[in-house]
Amino acid sequence: MAREYKLILKYADEPGYTPDIGCYLRHGGYEILKKALAMQPRELPNGGKKSPQEQIRDDVKVSGLRGRGGAGFSCGLKWSFVDHKSGKPVYLICNADESEPGTFKDRQIIYKDPHQLLEGMIIACYANNAHLAYIYIRGEMAGGARILNRALAEARSKNFLGKNILGSGYDLEIYVHRGAGAYICGEETGLIESLEGKRAYPRIKPPYFPAVLGLWMCPTIVNNVETLCNIKHIVAMGGAEFAKLGTPNNTGTRIVSLSGRVKKPGYYEIEVGRATIGELIFDEKFGGGLPDGRKLKAVIPGGSSAKVFKAGEKFKLKKKDAEGKMIEQETDMLDLPYDFDSLIAAGSMSGSSAIIVMDDSVDIVEALANIAVFYAHESCGQCTPCREGSLWMSKALHRLTHGEGRAGDADYLIKIADNIPGGRTICAFGEACSWPVQSFVGKFKDEFVAKGKADEERRAKEKTGPAAATPPVRHELATAHSLDEPRGHGVFQKS
C-alpha cells in the first residue's frame, strides 16, 4: 500500500513547529552533528585507521543516496571524486536554486525546517574536510534567504558553526548567496560562475567537473537541499539501515511536488519507488484524483524538462519474477513505480520529482508553448543550437497558439528539437529544452498538425472570401515574457 513516509518532513508541518533553533533543539536537533563530531578513528584489520570523515563518506556510499536535484547521481560517488590531497581548499555548495517549473519541495525545508538543512550541511562539510560552504538560493526566494541567515546566526551563537565547533577542533563557516534570478543559475557550473560574481554561463565538462575544478578552480561539492538533509539521517541510522528505505538502487525517501489538474496538489514525501504515478495522482492520501468528470490526458513526471507521458501509454519494463529470473513486463504509465530507474526505463525521468498532471481540458499545444517560451527566455545564449533552437521552437509554438500555425510545424518542431541535444551544447539545458518538444509533439502529433492545418485553411479562406473567415482565438500564454523582448543573455534580462 502506497503511503506517505515522512523522514525529511517529519516535523515541518506539525502544528506549532517553527523554524527557530529552540524548536529544532526540542526535537532532537544537532544531536546527530554531536554524534558525527564525536566519532573516533576505526582500527582496520591491516593495522591502519579509518578517520571519522572517511567512515561518514563510506556510510553515504552504502546508503545508496542519489542526488535529489535532478540527475539522480550517487552522492557517495560524487564525494569520492574530491581529491583531499590536492592541497587546495574543498568547498561545499548547497544548491537551493529550485527553479525547475513544477518544483516546490526544497522551499518547504528552507522555510519550515532550515536547521535540518544546516545540520546536514555541517556534517557533509565535516565529512569532506570543507571549511567554507555556501547556500546558493534562488534570487526570488528573499524570505527563504532571510530565514536561512537567521538560522545561521542562531547556529553560530550555539557554536554549531564557527571556530572549534563544540570543542572538536573543526572550523566551518556557511554563507547564504542569493541567485541572479535565472533558471540556468541552478545548473551547477553556471551556479559556480554566478557565485564567483560572473554571468551564470555554464562551464564545459570535462574539464570543469566541480569535484575537481569547481569554485575558484578548487574541488567543490554541489548538492541539492534535499540531498544534504539526508546526510543527517544517514549518520543517524547508518548507511545500511537507510538503504532499507525505498527500493534497491532507489533508496531513501523523496519529496514529490504534485501540481496541475488534481484535487489535492501539494508535496508528498514517499519511500522512493513505493508509490506508483497512478497512486500519487489518484489515491486519496495524495492527489485525490482529477477534477470531477475529467479524464487523464498526460503527465509530466519530473519537472518541465522531463519527457511527457501520454495517458494509456505502455512500456516494457525489465523486472525479476518470483524465482529471481529477469522478465519483461508490460506496464501502464500509471503503474510505473515512482523511482529513478523505472522512469528512465520508460524513456523519461523523475528529475526534480515534480509531477504535473494534465486532463482533457488542457490544450496540449498551449501547454507546450508555455514550456517552450520559458526555455527560450532562460537559455544563457552561449551555444548556438540551444540559443537559436529554443527560440525557433518557441516562435513556432507561438504562431500555432495565435492562429498563425502551419501544417508542417509539427515536423519542423521535431527537426529542431532533434538537433539540439546529444553533445552539441555545453550543458544539459540543451536536453531540457528539447525533451518536452520531442515528447509532446511525438506523442500528440495529430493535435499539432490539426491546429496548423486549421490555421492554414482559415487563412486560405480569408484570402478568397472575406465573409468566410472565423477570427482566430488568441490564447495569451501564462508568462510574463513576450517574444518581442530583446533577446540574448536571458540571465540578466529578468523582468
Ligand X SMILES: Cc1cc2nc3c(=O)[nH]c(=O)nc-3n(C[C@H](O)[C@H](O)[C@H](O)COP(=O)(O)O)c2cc1C
Q: Which residues bind ligand X (CB under 6 A)?
A: 67-71, 73, 78, 95, 97-100, 183-184, 186-188, 222-224, 227, 427-429, 432
- Looking at the Cβ atoms of 150 and 489, the one nearer to ligand SF4 is 489
- What whole-number distance in Å separates Cα of residue 269 and Cα of residue 10? 9
Q: Given the rule CB under 6 A, which of 80-88, 191-199, 216-224, 425-433 is the region that contacts ligand SF4?
A: 425-433
Q: Is 430 in the site for ligand SF4 (CB under 6 A)?
A: yes
Dihedral angle over CA of 273, 275, 276, 281, nearest 10: -140
Find the shortest distance in angstroms from Cβ 390 to ligand SF4: 7
Site for ligand SF4 in 146-185 (CB under 6 A): 184
- Counting contacts by CB under 6 A, is residue 436 touching ligand SF4? no
Q: What is the CA radius of gyration of the chain?
A: 24
Residue 372 engages ligand SF4 in binding (rule: CB under 6 A): no
Q: Does 386 bind ligand SF4 (CB under 6 A)?
A: yes
- Is there binding between residue 382 and ligand SF4 (CB under 6 A)? yes
CB of 426 to ligand SF4, least distance (A): 4
Q: Binding string to ligand SF4 for residues 182 to 221, with x set by CB under 6 A, is what?
A: --x-----------------x-------------------
Q: What's the closest the beta carbon of residue 395 comes to ligand X, in angstroms?
A: 21
Binding status of residue 381 toward ligand SF4 by CB under 6 A? yes
Instruction: Compute the least distance from the CB of residue 384 to ligand SF4, in Å.
Output: 8
Minimal distance, residue 381 CB to ligand SF4, in Å: 6
421 is a contact residue toward ligand SF4 (CB under 6 A): no
Asked if 259 touches ligand SF4 (CB under 6 A), the answer is no
Query: Minimum Å distance from CB 251 to ligand X?
Result: 14
Provide CB contacts within 8 A for 153, sequence distance 6+.
Answer: none
Instruction: Find the shortest distance in angstroms from Cβ 363 to ligand SF4.
Output: 27
Output the smallest distance, CB 22 to ligand X, in A. Answer: 29
In whole angstroms, what is the distance from residue 70 CA to residue 186 CA?
10
Residues binding ligand SF4: what is the number (CB under 6 A)? 14
Q: Are residues 168 and 39 in contact, defined by beta-carbon separation less than 8 angstroms?
A: no
Query: Closer to ligand X at the Cβ: 100 or 113?
Result: 100
99 binds, among ligand SF4, ligand X, none (CB under 5 to 8 A by kind): ligand X
Sign of CA dihedral 82, 84, 90, 95: positive
- Number of Cβ atoms within 10 Å of the Cβ of 422: 11
**From the list ligand X, ligand SF4, none, partner contacted by residue 451 (C-beta under 5 to 8 A by kind):** none
The residues with which 327 forms a beta bridge, in sequence order, are: 319
- Which residues form the interface with ligand SF4 (CB under 6 A)? 184, 202, 379-383, 386-387, 425-427, 429-430
